[in-house]
């Protein structure tokens, strides 16, 4: 008969204690290792530079014939901004390139759009050019404001002031008023565009991203404009087109002076806009010798006109009166009285360079 060997209880307890000590040592070592790794990781993260936060940008959208004659004025304006809170897009005639031969400013190099179209004054092609500019600018999600400018526009203040003025409000700046003059609204636009939504104003608008998308997505209003909003024919074109029976009874509709204003009114967005332009134009029709063309184009400032007094007189404008609505728009920024205009046109290249050299624009 075999005898069972019974191990002493003390030996069993010793093994249990040894295992417990080993398990506790392993857990403690693992904890120390994890904490050390976490500390090293945190230390490494504190040594890394903080992530850059992309501030909202303003997209400057230039509509030009060819080159930009005031490129060096804008060059001085953009040089004042170190954080790159802007982007530049230029719509010029098809095939034109902004290279070192056509611009001296690095901010405009290769900024022309490769899908531009031929734009004719007073035609719906101007609206198409605006659509193309917005299409490209909206691809950058950082672009929050969209400023339309002509090739004869110049800035009146430095970048910092301009940026703060535009970004201080959630509204677009759109010169818009009820148009009561006969001959501009074409009844054939009804019912797509009822006459009570018909508006007029300057094409040089500043749009928020929301309103820029409204313009780009429009599929109803633009076709009406292309078909029924046409400028009155001028005498020199009568040989190429049928002679109007009575030129005075022709509809005289300039598409870009009505489109954005009417589109936003039609969409119920007028409560979301500041109803004035930030771009100054002088419509002193008495300076025009040709009675047929009086009021068609604003005054062009030449070299002799470019004086500190001229710029100061523009900067001092603090209100705008709209006769058709008996409305006076007092200009403000951040809830305080402010100049009405940040930009001005139409300036020739010699005029712009003279103002830049006299340091009266405040862009430097």
Contact 231, 254 (CB under 8 A): yes
Of the candidates 192, 322, 205, which has an alpha carbon nearest to the alpha carbon of residue 258? Answer: 205
Report DSSP letters for 73-139, one per residue: HHHHHHHT-SS--EEEEEE-STT---STTT-S-TTTTT-B-TT-----TTSTHHHHHHHHHHHHHTT
H/E element holding 357? helix 349-357
For 302, the 3-state DSSP assignment is coil
- Report residue 146: phi and psi, to 5°: -130, 110
Angle 125-137/221-228 helices, nearest 10 degrees?
A: 150
The pLDDT tens digits along the chain (364 residues) read 444 444 555 555 665 666 565 666 656 556 555 565 655 554 554 455 455 567 899 999 999 999 999 999 999 999 978 788 999 999 999 999 999 999 999 999 999 999 999 999 889 999 999 999 999 999 999 999 999 999 999 999 999 999 999 999 999 999 999 987 778 899 999 999 999 999 999 999 999 999 999 999 999 999 999 999 988 765 544 445 555 555 555 678 999 999 999 999 999 999 999 999 999 999 765 554 544 445 567 899 999 999 999 999 999 999 999 988 899 999 999 999 999 999 999 999 999 999 999 998 877 6
Q: Which two tokens stand for residue 236?
A: 């020199």
Contact 281, 346 (CB under 8 A): yes
Q: Which two tokens stand for residue 30?
A: 């693992």
């Amino acid at each position: 008969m075999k005898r069972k060997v019974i191990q002493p209880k003390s030996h069993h307890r010793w093994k249990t204690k040894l295992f417990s000590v080993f398990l506790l040592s392993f857990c403690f070592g693992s904890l120390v290792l994890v904490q050390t790794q976490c500390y090293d990781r945190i230390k490494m993260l504190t040594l890394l530079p903080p992530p850059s936060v992309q501030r909202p940008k303003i997209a400057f959208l230039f509509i030009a014939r060819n080159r930009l004659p005031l490129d060096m004025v804008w060059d001085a304006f953009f040089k004042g901004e170190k954080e790159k809170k802007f982007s530049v897009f230029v719509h010029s005639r098809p095939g034109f390139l902004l290279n070192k031969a056509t611009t001296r400013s690095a901010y405009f190099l290769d900024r022309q759009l490769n899908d531009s179209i031929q734009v004719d004054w007073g035609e719906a092609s101007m609206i198409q050019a605006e659509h193309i500019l917005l299409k490209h600018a909206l691809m950058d999600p950082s672009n929050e404001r969209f400023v339309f400018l002509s090739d004869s526009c110049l800035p009146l203040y430095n970048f910092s002031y301009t940026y703060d003025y535009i970004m201080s409000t959630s509204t677009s700046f759109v010169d818009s008023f009820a148009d009561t003059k006969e001959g501009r609204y074409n009844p054939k636009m009804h019912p797509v565009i009822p006459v009570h939504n018909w508006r007029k104003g300057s094409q040089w608008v500043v749009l928020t991203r929301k309103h820029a998308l409204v313009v780009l997505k429009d599929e109803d209003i633009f076709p009406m404009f292309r078909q029924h909003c046409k400028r009155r024919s001028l005498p020199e074109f009568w040989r190429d087109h049928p002679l109007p029976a009575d030129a005075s009874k022709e509809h005289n509709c300039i598409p870009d002076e009505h489109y954005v204003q009417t589109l936003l009114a039609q969409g119920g967005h007028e409560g979301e806009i500041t109803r004035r332009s930030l771009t100054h134009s002088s419509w002193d029709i008495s300076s025009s010798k040709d009675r047929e063309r009086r009021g068609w184009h604003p005054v062009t400032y030449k070299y002799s006109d470019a004086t500190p007094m001229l710029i100061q007189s523009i900067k001092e404008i603090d209100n705008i009166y709209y006769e058709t609505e008996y409305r006076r728009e007092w200009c403000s920024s951040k809830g305080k009285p402010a100049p009405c205009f940040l930009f001005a046109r139409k300036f020739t290249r010699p005029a712009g360079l003279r103002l830049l050299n006299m340091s009266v624009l405040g862009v430097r």
